[in-house]
Amino acid sequence: MKVLVTGASGFLGRATAAAVRDAGHEVRTFQRRPSGVSGVDDVLGTVTDPDALARAVDRVDAVVHLAAKVSLAGDPDDFRRVNVDGTRALLDAARAAGTERFVFVSSPSVAHTGTSLAGAPAGPAEPERARGEYARTKAAAELLALAADEPGFAVVAVRPHLVWGPGDTQLVGRIVERARAGRLPLLDSGAALIDTLYVDNAASAMVAALDRATDDGVHGSAYVVTNGEPRPVADLLAGICTASGVPAPRWHVPAGVARVAGSVVEAVWRVRPGQDEPPMTRFLAEQLSTAHWFDQRRTRAELRWVPAVSIDEGLARLAAAR
């Protein structure tokens, strides 16, 4: 197949484009700057530009859509323009071009309303109840994408959870930066169990979704994808910090205090945004203090996929890449 991968200059996007290429497909990428992936055809542009979208989808059989505005804070209109309007425009362009498969890369946060998720299935996306602009707009975009599933245009939503690995400047990069500066607390005891996903496993899951997209029972569905190895958040943070050569977090903050502080910081950020991400938000406090791990049986059975790299192996690779 000829496959378009959007957002391929990002961490997961690059890995996905390479995995699709290695699976034997012809790959075109679409993003604002060169992807850096060898053996692919880069098309530069944004999902808010109809002409660029038309060039990107020309004669492609399938799309894997990762391009998104990902941030803990920012102008709500920016999130909606990229995540919702951009997804709608790409869906329309892909259908008009005769594309037959569309994998929408979503997030488990679209169904997270602030309470613990223990062995949870892929619940319905809920824009009205999701926490933060990113989650709300990704939830709305996922609903748009799945509603577009129809004969001849198979749509699957994949929700990778907390993707990490060597070269990650988001999850790993921010953990390391804050730990090095002594600004990485554990909320409550740090015992909340959370699932994560090593980057190579995330990329292989995208290929599996692409392959299975037209299967009965798969198209029109959403799948949470994780390593299936839930660990206490304190252990996960310690593992990443140790592999990265920085001290693991030792000090504790009550989760309730962090949530209140996060709400205050968000209010201030809306009026006077800083140069980087806010140090705490209510959503981040909830993520660090509530369980969120997922039942992977349906994902593995229907996508015919299993993770190849364990958490421990991923941590070893992270340490080796220092």
What distances in angstroms separate CA 285 from CA 8, 21, 68, one per listed residue? 29, 38, 22
What distances in angstroms separate CA 295 from CA 108, 118, 310, one per listed residue? 12, 8, 17
Q: Write the DSSP assignment of 10-47 as a string of letters.
A: SHHHHHHHHHHHHTT-EEEEEESS----TTSEEEE--T
| Alpha carbon distance 5, 57 (integer Å) | 10
Looking at 30, 134, 164, 283, which residue is catalytic?
Answer: 134
Is there a catalytic annotation at residue 134?
A: yes
| Alpha carbon distance 275, 281 (integer Å) | 15
Q: What is the CA radius of gyration of the chain?
A: 19
| Type of residue at 154 | A
| Alpha carbon distance 187, 257 (integer Å) | 9
Are 234 and 219 spatial neighbours (Cβ–Cβ below 8 Å)?
no
What per-residue string of b and e applies to 124-134 under the rule 16 or more CB within 10 Å gives b?
ebbbeebbbbb
Written as six digits, the tokens of 214 are 């037209």
Positions marked catalytic: 134
